[in-house]
Amino acid sequence: MEDKLRSQTSMSNSNSSLEQRKVRYLSWGIFTVAHDVEDRFVSSPRIWLSSLKSFNDPLRCFVRFVIDLWRIAPWQSLEYYSHIMWMVISPVLSSYLGYLVLHRIDAAIRNPAGMQKNELKPIQMLSLMWLTCGLLTHYVANMLQYESRVKLGPHLRVHFLPQLVQASLARDQVDMKDLGSFPSAYDYGDFIPGWEPFCAIFTRLRHILAVVVEILVMVYIILHQEDAQSQIFSFLIVAFVLVNFLSPIDAVGGKGYSFWTKNNNYNRLMTLYNIVFDFQYRKTLIKDGQTQCLAQEYKRVSDSLGPVKADTYMLGWCLYPAWHWGIVRFWIANSPMALIALTLPWISSTSPIFVMAIVQYSIFTMQHSIDYLRNTDESFWGLTTRIMAFYDVIDRPPCVEDWSSTLESNDEQKKSISTKISLQNVSHQILEDISLDIIPGHLIIITGPNGSGKSTLAKIISGMASPTSGWVLVDDQPPSQALSNDGLSIRTLYLERSEAIYPVSLEENISMSVFNGEAADKDSLGEALRLGRSHDIVQKLGLQTVLNPCSIPACSIVREVGPGARKALRKNCPDPHPIDIPEDHRQHMIASRAFFRLKTRDTGLIILDEATNAMDPAEENHILNNFRQISREKGQTMIVVTHNLSSIAEHADDIFYLERGKVVEQGTHAQLMDMNGAYCSIYKATGQ
């Protein structure tokens, strides 16, 4: 038998206006278990009113989802709601039909002489109806569990996923608070917008209604029984309902819990166990000659700890309730017929078999719904709040102002966007009080030691990051605060040292045709491959090669797939293994994508943030010179963040040298060399 759980309660420091929380502590072997306990008593009716008011908005969003679903899939919705209604009615109908059949059989057993053959036909008809009801319920239950999702899901995906895509792309990397309302990248095959909370709400409602109506039917049956019989019937049904709803699910009332132990021997043994069986320590142990000592220490601590109750698998899986609750549930829920048999002296006026059968069947029909309600964790408020959060994401305007319409309506502004840049007393993270001007069409170099703030400054200039203080002006106007601003990001080419390669073909990656549905211009594609010096790389791999292809789970989850099915899968849908390429090859392909964009779009600002650092010096010089030549031809502003000063420093119009977040030196290469300062020292030290 489990150790007796000792509990004590202490008040937490939370002073929530809606509920008063407590923390209860239990002992389990050498572990202490803690779980939250909600105070069920409310001190003021005003709190109830405020709770109801807070439920208005989630409930309104749930009703909106129901209406939207009806509009986009009326017939499928009608089928789903009719199935829900049948699952509410069917247990009641089945119980009543069972009652009628058992009642007539009981009458036949008590008066066999008076039962004629033709009087058995009503029993047969009622039994056939009872069986048909059960078969129909089984069919509808399968439809609700599987087919409803299959039928309604495609309509929800078609209607809501484009809106979620638009909402997701309207948010930048900083605005992450709504992330939980968006699907994961791995959810493509099975994500259905809004389905999970919607289905959970209706499933819970049908179980609640089923229990309520079944209890009403039980009351009707009880009222039509003899006194002694009805008393026994009433007692067992009431006891069943009370035991099911009042008995705890587990020792912590179905709540989540934490556990820990302060047993020094157990914690010490855990450390030694990890050192022994985590092989990253094995080489060091052998070199240090500590293997034998470690074995002896483990034996000593293990003996000191001894056999203790410390199975964290069982502890983490479930804390069983007190033993007496199990006995009560077994008697009432599993053995009502045995309990009725004990009451035979008091029901001699009628057949005990009828009472046994009807009580057993009534409990059986209610048990499924009650078990579901007992084991549901999320409340109605939580489920409707999830739907409200879903609509909040769709309805909320973008986190930044969309400049694209303004820019597209002004041709002159298109040509000058992101060319003249001014920073006024800008601070952000490591950057401190930066003020500088970048003249349109100039080649700018940002350099300095690691951690000096070079990349942060580049992000501030591009609009990918916002200053915590100060101002950034682009053509004398404040730029976007995020990369999701179409007007600024489309006119700015920003390359970092590690760029994403999309899970499409190399041709689509370089030409970006996947995003507009247009075929790539072959001449521009070839020119981009030449300028990025990735022609040989792409030719070896193939233009239609996908480096990191997407896939969906193509095998059953529960059952092991046989060799024949695996062979058929490989034949018809080859397993998409990622292709790993060197980092310098990746940077060459990203450079080709950038050159394609420069050739086919209006770009006013080029920012290269260590974008060629994985290439050898000769290749890096070629790439940077190609960027410089294009920027000179088109009058584009070019900013290069780099450590390799020899490749482009002498061509720079201005160089900003940073140390500890501040611009400590500024000027052309010749001017900085004449200053004989930090820039000059680094330039000479690196053998430039």
How much is the pLDDT for 261? 85
Domain boundaries, the chain: 55-226+350-395, 266-307, 442-457+483-550+574-685
Give yes or no for residue 575 having a pLDDT over 80. no
In whole angstroms, what separates CA 505 from the centre of its chain? 28
> Which residue, among 201, 149, 206, has the nearest Cα to 387 in the 3D structure?
201
Q: Which of 273-287, 486-500, 606-620, 633-647 has the lowest mean pLDDT?
A: 486-500
How much is the pLDDT for 414? 42
Average pLDDT over every residue of 396-405: 50
The DSSP letter of residue 280 is: G
In the numeric block, the tokens 């969906």 are attached to 552
Residue 683 or residue 515, greater confidence = 683
SS3 of 668, please?
coil
How much is the pLDDT for 167? 81
Could you tell me the pLDDT band of residue 11, with boundaries at 50, 70 and 90?
A: very low
Q: Which of 220-224, 480-484, 594-598 has the lowest mean pLDDT?
A: 480-484
- What is the 3 state secondary structure string of 366-400? HHHHHHHHHCCCCCHHHHHHHHHHHHHHHHCCCCC
Give the model confidence (pLDDT) of 629-659 as tens digits: 888 888 888 889 887 777 788 888 888 988 8
Could you tell me the pLDDT band of residue 574, with boundaries at 50, 70 and 90?
A: low
Kindly give the residue spans of alpha helices, DSSP state H, lying in 224-332: 227-246, 264-277, 282-288, 291-305, 312-317, 323-329
- Cα separation, 590 vs 499, in Å, equals 7
CATH no., domain 442-457+483-550+574-685 = 3.40.50.300
- The tokens describing 636, both together, are 């584009």
Give the model confidence (pLDDT) of 126-155 as tens digits: 889 989 988 998 899 888 888 888 899 899
Residue 463 or residue 161, greater confidence = 161
Residue 406 or residue 340, greater confidence = 340
CA dihedral 521→524→525→530, nearest 10 degrees, is 160
How many C-beta atoms lie closer than 10 Å to residue 541's C-beta?
18
Q: What is the DSSP string of 205-244?
A: HHHHHHHHHHHHHHHHHHHTS-HHHHHHHHHHHHHHHHHH
What are the φ/ψ torsions at residue 473 (nearest 5 degrees)? -115, 130
Could you tell me the pLDDT band of residue 198, with boundaries at 50, 70 and 90?
A: very high
**With contact defined as beta carbons under 8 Å apart, do 160 and 72 qualify?**
no
Average pLDDT over every residue of 527-532: 88
**With contact defined as beta carbons under 8 Å apart, do 237 and 245 qualify?**
no
In the numeric block, the tokens 């050898």 are attached to 616
Could you tell me the pLDDT band of residue 52, with boundaries at 50, 70 and 90?
A: low
Q: 291-305 and 264-277 are packed helices; what angle lies between their axes, rounded to 10 degrees?
A: 150
How much is the pLDDT for 111? 67
How much is the pLDDT for 83? 92
- Cα separation, 510 vs 499, in Å, equals 12
Give yes or no for residue 2 having a pLDDT over 50. no
Could you tell me the pLDDT band of residue 180, with boundaries at 50, 70 and 90?
A: low
Average pLDDT over every residue of 256-265: 84
pTM of structure = 0.68
- Residues facing 21 on adjacent strands: 38
Residue 420 or residue 381, greater confidence = 381
Q: Which of 15-19, 70-74, 304-308, 683-687 has the lowest mean pLDDT?
A: 15-19
- Cα separation, 133 vs 149, in Å, equals 24
Across the beta sheet with 662-667, the strand order is 492-495, 605-609, 637-641, 443-447, 654-659, 662-667
How much is the pLDDT for 74? 93
Could you tell me the pLDDT band of residue 75, with boundaries at 50, 70 and 90?
A: very high
How much is the pLDDT for 501? 82
How much is the pLDDT for 114? 53
How much is the pLDDT for 436? 87
Give the model confidence (pLDDT) of 334-364 as tens digits: 777 666 666 666 655 555 666 667 777 777 7
How much is the pLDDT for 10? 38
How much is the pLDDT for 98? 81
Percent of the chain with pLDDT over 70: 76
Residue 177 or residue 587, greater confidence = 587
**With contact defined as beta carbons under 8 Å apart, do 488 and 417 qualify?**
yes
Across the beta sheet with 21-28, the strand order is 7-11, 21-28, 31-38, 257-260
Give yes or no for residue 384 having a pLDDT over 70. yes
In whole angstroms, what separates CA 269 from the centre of its chain? 36
Q: Which of 548-557, 610-619, 659-668 has the lowest mean pLDDT?
A: 548-557
How much is the pLDDT for 256? 75
Q: What is the DSSP string of 55-118?
A: THHHHHHHHHHHHHHHHH-HHHHHHHHHHHHHHHHHHHHHHHHHHHHHHHHHHHHH-GGG--GG
How much is the pLDDT for 518? 63
How many C-beta atoms lie closer than 10 Å to residue 123's C-beta?
18
How much is the pLDDT for 144? 86
Residue 57 CB burial class (10 angstroms; 0-12, 13-18, ≥19): middle
> Which residue, among 649, 631, 633, has the nearest Cα to 641 in the 3D structure?
649
Give yes or no for residue 173 having a pLDDT over 70. no
Residue 566 or residue 161, greater confidence = 161
Mean confidence (pLDDT) of the chain = 77
**With contact defined as beta carbons under 8 Å apart, do 604 and 415 qualify?**
yes
Q: Which of 213-217, 332-336, 396-400, 486-490 has the lowest mean pLDDT?
A: 486-490
CA dihedral 477→483→487→493, nearest 10 degrees, is 100
Could you tell me the pLDDT band of residue 480, with boundaries at 50, 70 and 90?
A: very low
Kindly give the residue spans of alpha helices, DSSP state H, lying in 447-521: 454-462, 486-491, 506-511
Residue 55 or residue 452, greater confidence = 452
SS3 of 605, please?
strand
Q: Which of 316-320, 486-490, 585-589 has the lowest mean pLDDT?
A: 486-490
Residue 628 or residue 341, greater confidence = 628
- Cα separation, 551 vs 539, in Å, equals 25
Could you tell me the pLDDT band of residue 278, with boundaries at 50, 70 and 90?
A: confident
Average pLDDT over every residue of 409-414: 42
Percent of the chain with pLDDT over 90: 6
